[in-house]
Structure 1
Amino acid sequence: MLPVFLSALLLTTATASASPDWRTPFEKGNGNTTTTHAECISYYQQLDAAYPEIQLREVGQTDSGRPLHEVVVSLDGDFEPTSLRAKGRRIVFIQNGIHPGEPEGIDASMMLARDYVQKKDLRRQLSDVVLVFIPIYNVDGSLNRNSTTRTNQNGPESYGFRGNARNLDLNRDYIKQDSRNARTFAQLFQRWQPDVYVDTHTSNGADYQYTMTLIATQKNKLHPALSEYMQQRLLPALYGGMDKKKWYLTPYVDFEGRTPDARGLVGFLETPRYSTGYTTLFNTIGFVTETHMLKTYTPRVRATYDFLELLIRQVHQDGPAIAQARTAAAAQTQAQQQFALGWKLDTTQAEQLTFRGYAGKLKPSEVSGLPRLYYDRQAPYTKSIPYYNTFRATTTVQRPRAYVLPQAWGEVVERLRLSGVQMRQLSADTVINGETYYIQDYKTGPRPYEGHYLHTQVQVRTVQQPRSFLRGDYIITLNQPAARYLIETLEPQATDSFFAWGFFDSILQQKEYFSDYVFEDVAADLLRRRPELRAQLEEKKKQDPAFAASAAAQLDWVYRQSDHYETSHLRYPVLRVL
């Protein structure tokens, strides 16, 4: 009996002392599976329990009712943003699963978090760098798991859905913040104020040889101090490092024409509705990784892992340069007087890049019988093509000293607060003189876009006038870090302004009007008493035959020149104080 007892004892001891299995669900799978939301959070909980350098915590709500989590990797066990910034730590913020059907970053980040505490070489990179992960941002979509909606994608076997619980694409929600996910993100981003931000994705579109393409913050939209560092140092290091790992990298394959080599690639202009467009407003360098949908899943995960590891290594090496560039950007933004509100691609400016593609050819469609495009993988090519990535400002605005926002617009006030805007309320009713915009013209899409009828091509008329404000209305000075964010949200002509997203739509509707048979006599009396108004009317009739032929149009014109016309119609409620 003794040998049997000893054997059992030895077996029990060996089992108890065996190291835990730290493989992720992806690593345990067949190479074509991704973790579920429950498995992901459970894995980070295990890391949190085992390593004092890792903390998992709930940071807010999502539309699904489930919490949004963050994971912080900090070697000295300090997990507070204010304290870490005071220590001079560079902060890298990595967000995964905004589109849960594009899950490479979810799986890669789980392995990264583990490896950064278990591997000595990687630990050294965190001596002055802190990692912040959002394990899965679109929790709602991650729970809506299926195997069919990513029609064009080669794996994994099952995955989440692009829309969240309200069927919103969260990567269009950073300014309007319709979702609780986006409102939670804004607070989290403002707490961390990261130096570098990464949003991990999978591409759609053309076929080509690359496993990964990259969107870097558009160079003309990023502050010049940061743009120079990114263009001259960071991007060459990332491209060169990925080349050495045999993950040849190219800018995101966005193009006009039938194939990428037809006219070349076009830079992606990420306006503030997108994650990296929002982060740019606060002088954070942003990247969107786009692994290619037609490559198998394992290489896509490995390429994402290698890119993130390479980026973190470079931030560690360039910490002082990044700090210097961000400090310069912050100071210069405070002194900046002219700000761009809209951008247009400059098609006269192009650089040449080497592109690894597949020949695009035509063959008869088995569906329609008509010619259809296909990419011939038996005909790869490497050639020089143009890359258009210079954008020019189309509309600019002079920086005001302050904005005055009536408290009635509570949805706007809430979003400003979430994005760290500093405001003070008037202590008494008062009259303030400043610039008022009147909306002259705009175009509105015929169908809703992400829950809104988006306004474009906004034109305004500026009037200097005194305005009455109430106790509790908000004074918002521009002498604060959120200055650029304020300009791009409160100036109605900006691409992603709150006006563009319809937050001020009630000013576009007239509330009072007139009966023509009653106002005819009032209008006639007004024209008798004001001969200069009669002269303007007659001149307008000469200039506009359609106006001259319309009695209703003429009567309405007189009404709008009279004291009876409501001054609030088409008046933008935010006052600019110069």
Structure 2
Amino acid sequence: MLSFLLSTLLLAAPASSPDWRTPFEKGNGNTTTTYAECIAYYQRLDKAYPEIRMREIGGTDAGLPLHEVVIGLDKTFEPAKVRSKNRRIILIQNGIHPGEPEGIDAAMALARDYVQKPELRQQLRDITLVIIPIYNVDGSLNRNSTTRANQNGPESYGFRGNARHLDLNRDYVKQDSRNARTFAELLTRWRPDVFVDTHTSDGADYQYAMTLIATQKDKLHPALSQYMTQTLLPQLYGGMQQRATPMTPYVDFEGRTPDARGLVGFLETPRYSSGYTALFNTIGFITETHMLKAYTPRVKAQYDFLDLLIRAVVHDKAAIGQARAEADSQLAAQTTFPLAWKLDTTAAETVTFLGYEGRLTPSEISNKPRLSYDRQAPYSRQIPYYNTFRPTLAVQRPQAYLIPQAWTEVVDRLRRAGTSLRRLTRDTTLTGEVYYVQDYKTGPRPYEGHYLHSQVELRTVQQPTAFHTGDYVAWLNQPTARYLVETLEPQATDSFFSWGFFDSILQQKEYFSDYVFEDVAADLLRKDPSLRARLEKLKQQNAAFAASGAAQLDWVYRQSEYYEKSHLRYPIVRWSGGKLPDAADK
């Protein structure tokens, strides 16, 4: 029996007592709630308990609203008022992948228990819970029993993609979906201290029902990282062990089986939920129950984790508040921002791992060796866990970014993140740092609706640039400073440039007819001997260049005043020149 189920008590209660069992609890242990049942259940809770407020907060690509459920013992439901009371805020998001629905069912029971059980109600004195019942509303409506081919139940469930066939857990920074835009606005309003995104894992077989991704410790601010690694995570792992649901770090590994080379930490960039929330100094967790365990223990594991997390946040409310305040304060003085990271394979801790022996046996399909896990051969082994990442690229913080108003998609995302923007009140020319894109690599196939750019190489010049009335100024002395750097620096892993928001600058708009420009180029070389010398040197150094008349003519063109200055010029300018003239609030 699950400790959190009320089924036995409710069956023994008088017939007039309301039945507060969730759809999962009413089922056979292998069923999950539908979208309609989930929303209706929270509406019942809202109506019955003044400590619960459910409301629509924005749209989704399915055309249905996204909901938030706010639980506060003092009946304070507005984010600003909650923060003014110095309460810790926990945001729980469920159903981003509706085929992984354990969190949906667990959170429904959790919300009920925290208003019905006196001992749990006391936990709400110093915190506010915010629950997104089902984030991917679109996918939850696309119900089936087959798309999670590797998963052991439930009997039917939703689909991973949303109405636009997007994986919403790759959409946080780019925000192609209405779901992600609504989430960004919610995160800005609440600014939670801790965020949880509930999932089910794929991958290897092992003994655990629950694995955990915590915000990558080296990417989180040191004050928050220290609290998370030294205090919060030990409480969570210890508590799950005491509840007979031991937990391990997310089972990502190199090699044939987890014990071959050890576990590898997950580097979540801002495309992912916890990578996005980390930009705003929020501690994030992604819970991953194991696909092959029965559905009921998986729901219990999610419930236990959420309950333990709430208890830990209540216990450590002062320490969390102090760490968050320190992180926010130090962000204002931070001058260097890492943009890319690499796993340090020389640094590892040792963890106890409860696994199953991996065997290679002949495949019935191909008769080639195939991997299987032998559940009759469990083991407990000490294995390495590689979870240290080092910065490989960093940038110095400018005072501000100057953003032409033409780039509305970028401006809209900055606003949704809570960025304060000012606008120029007259046309002006300003000299700042301008990037030219020297080289980049683009993925050969689309990824979540985009052809991602990587390995971006830039040339930086100090250059006067014309700006117009209404263009934007984003100063870095604000809480969204890290978000601004990681989205507006084109060489960052998940920058707006990397996601293709500025692809139009990569295409040349004007060119020349070679038979006309031949004469112009010859005249340029006659008038500029140094240009001729540079051309001859390149020919000596590069045989392919020397053999191509077209390449040489193009090179001369690019050195001339006829070549468009906006080609490959990144339109956002880094400003470090002090006070700007004539800038007003947006």
TM-score tier, shorter chain, comes to over 0.9
Residue of structure 2 in register with 1:189 after alignment: 187
SS of the residue aligned with 1:462?
strand
**Unaligned stretches of 5+ residues in structure 1:** 1-13
Alpha-carbon distance, 1:335 to partner:
0.4
Residue of structure 1 in register with 2:554 after alignment: 556
SS of the residue aligned with 1:59?
strand
Q: In structure 2, do the counterparts of structure 1 residues 351 and 427 end up closer, same or farther at CA, with 3 Å as the change threshold?
A: same
Q: Distance in 2 between matches of 1:18 and 1:375?
A: 50
Pairs within 5 Å for 1:91-130: 91-130=89-128
Alpha-carbon distance, 1:449 to partner:
0.3
Q: What TM-score results when the alignment is normalised by the length of structure 2? A: 0.96
Alpha-carbon distance, 1:236 to partner:
0.5
- Please, which moves more after superposition, 556-565 or 536-545? 536-545
Q: Which amino acid aligns with 2:424?
A: L
Q: In structure 2, do the counterparts of structure 1 residues 225 and 558 end up closer, same or farther at CA, with 3 Å as the change threshold?
A: same
SS of the residue aligned with 1:503?
coil
Q: Which amino acid aligns with 2:29?
A: G
Pairs within 5 Å for 1:465-476: 465-476=463-474
SS of the residue aligned with 1:335?
coil
Residue of structure 2 in register with 1:340 after alignment: 338
- Which consecutive segments of 4 or more residues in structure 1 shift more than 2 A? 14-17
Q: Which amino acid aligns with 2:476?
A: L
Residue of structure 2 in register with 1:446 after alignment: 444
Query: What does the per-residue CA deviation read over 1:6-59, in whole Å, with 9 as the maximum and x for residues that have no partner?
Result: xxxxxxxx9998210000000000000000000000000000000000011000
Query: What does the per-residue CA deviation read over 1:213-236, in whole Å, with 9 as the maximum and x for residues that have no partner?
Result: 000000000000100000110000
Residue of structure 1 in register with 2:207 after alignment: 209
Q: Distance in 2 between matches of 1:15 and 1:445?
A: 61
Query: What does the per-residue CA deviation read over 1:498-550, in whole Å, with 9 as the maximum and x for residues that have no partner?
Result: 00000000000001111111111101111111111111111111221111111
> Is the aligned partner of 1:172 residue 2:170?
yes
Pairs within 5 Å for 1:143-182: 143-182=141-180
Residue of structure 2 in register with 1:77 after alignment: 75
> Is the aligned partner of 1:50 residue 2:52?
no
**Unaligned stretches of 5+ residues in structure 2:** 1-11, 577-586
Match of 2:365 among 359, 364, 367: 367
Q: Distance in 2 between matches of 1:405 and 1:139?
A: 34
Q: Distance in 2 between matches of 1:124 and 1:360?
A: 46
Q: Distance in 1 between matches of 2:47 and 2:513?
A: 74
Residue of structure 1 in register with 2:355 after alignment: 357
> Is the aligned partner of 1:428 residue 2:420?
no
- Count of aligned pairs: 565
SS of the residue aligned with 2:455?
strand
Q: Which amino acid aligns with 1:488?
A: E
Q: Distance in 1 between matches of 2:235 and 2:542?
A: 62
Residue of structure 1 in register with 2:4 after alignment: none
Match of 2:521 among 517, 520, 523: 523
Q: Distance in 1 between matches of 2:125 and 2:73?
A: 7
SS of the residue aligned with 1:106?
helix
Q: Distance in 1 between matches of 2:455 and 2:172?
A: 21
Query: What does the per-residue CA deviation read over 1:254-294, in whole Å, with 9 as the maximum and x for residues that have no partner?
Result: 00111001110000000000000000000000000000000
Q: Distance in 2 between matches of 1:393 and 1:543?
A: 35
Match of 1:136 among 134, 137, 142: 134
- Please, which moves more after superposition, 178-187 or 548-557? 548-557
Q: Distance in 2 between matches of 1:262 and 1:134?
A: 38
Residue of structure 2 in register with 1:200 after alignment: 198
Q: What TM-score results when the alignment is normalised by the length of structure 1? A: 0.97
Alpha-carbon distance, 1:559 to partner:
0.2
Query: What does the per-residue CA deviation read over 1:86-105, in whole Å, with 9 as the maximum and x for residues that have no partner?
Result: 10110000000000000000
Residue of structure 1 in register with 2:5 after alignment: none
Match of 1:225 among 219, 223, 226: 223
Q: Which amino acid aligns with 1:371?
A: P
Alpha-carbon distance, 1:74 to partner:
0.3
Percent identity reads 75
SS of the residue aligned with 1:126?
helix
Q: Which amino acid aligns with 1:422?
A: S
Q: Distance in 2 between matches of 1:124 and 1:410?
A: 46
